[in-house]
Amino acid sequence: MPLKGTFLETWLLGFLSPSLTDFLLNLVMAVIVALVATLPIVVLTWMERKVVARIQDRIGPNLAGPYGMLQAIADAIKMFTKEDTMPAEADRVVYNIAPIAMAAAAMMTYAVFPWSPGVVGADLNIGVLYFLAMGAATTVVVLMAGWGSNNKYALLGAFRAVAQLISYEIPQVLALMVPIMFAGTMSTVGIVQKQEVIYALLFPVSFLAFLIAGIAETGRSPFDLLEAESEIVAGYHTEYSGMKFALFFLAEYAATFGVAVITAVAFLGGWRFFGLETRLPFLAPIILVLKALLIVFVLMWIRGTLPRFRIDHLLAFNWKFLVPLTLINIVVVAIVGKVVSGAPFGVQAVVLLASNLVLLFGALAVLGAAGRRARRQWEERIASIGGVSS
């Protein structure tokens, strides 16, 4: 724990027992992690509005503070002052627990994020598995929110969570298997320390697959079927208002930033940047945050440019393309890695990258052929309808 051996521990041991001191240190660390997890909502809400506004040729927030930078504070005040309503027929216990559990699950993932050497909430030897487990817990919470609201639109959004979130957890896990295999550890700290070359360059298929699955897991566009306003109002949180809705809102952005951080840790070298983190150690957490913000910008760019998927297309893309691709990728990386295991690292890197690029372009060719085939079938159907009507 980072607080071990600090002045705070020495001071507490002066008048408290060691067990109570450990408890208080853990409590302080938990509060720090919770505060770090809530900070993204302040920055990312403003950032997303500005990025999407530029994509859509709009100004974006510009009234609350300079350049609209206080917009998140204004939103928080609005949430605090809005009336807290609850459906008369709702399950009170499940309805009220769901937003708290959603925010808690999103924040708990931050416990294993390595911000710099020695600065990590908990350096678990199964840190990656812990992150995936906390992310999977949100599926249950979404079901709780939809069921507890006693609203058919909310329940429909919750059922979609079963189809989408659980489905995309599979390629997410399979994509993370590659850096875990190559690093030989599931510790987030260990994966960063093993990246002499960032894994996104060695395994672009795993990097792209994990990024796509992460977008789906956080329910962001074009995978935001859980809250498709044109179809199911607002999905599983239709009946939530005030601070309960704010907790869902906070959890979404905390999870988005969390996916960006774990992507930077697993594929972009974490806090490492050409040895700069060694010469200037205080820059290590800044490097990681900047890498995560770059990933977040890509997610916002995708949201501002791509239309929402249809539910059958979304599931078909996962089960017919993404899952087979990640399975084949694991086999290819395992075989190629075994064959070149005795070669110099430079040779290993070139061979692994070449095999991944062959797999990537082959997958894109298959996907393109499937798209052209579907387009021809649709054109033939339209032509036959036109022939019948004439």
Nearest Cα residue to 190 out of 90, 269, 80: 269
pLDDT of residue 6: 62
- Report the alpha-carbon distance of residue 364 to residue 182 in Å, rounded: 25
pLDDT of residue 116: 84
Residues 6+ apart with CB under 8 A from 211: 263, 295, 298
Estimate to the nearest angstrom the gap between the alpha carbon of 154 and the chain centroid. 23
State the CB neighbour count (10 A cutoff) for residue 347: 11
With beta carbons less than 8 A apart as the criterion, state whether 226 and 164 touch.
yes
pLDDT of residue 3: 58
pLDDT of residue 304: 85
pLDDT of residue 358: 93
In the chain, where the domains are located: 1-81, 84-372
Nearest Cα residue to 130 out of 74, 210, 83, 186: 186
Peptide bond connecting 222 to the previous residue in cis, omega within 30 degrees of 0: yes
E runs forming strands in the chain? 114-116, 119-120
pTM summary value:
0.87
pLDDT of residue 91: 86
Nearest Cα residue to 113 out of 281, 262, 318, 296: 262
pLDDT of residue 37: 66
pLDDT of residue 212: 93
- Regions of the chain with pLDDT less than 50: 390
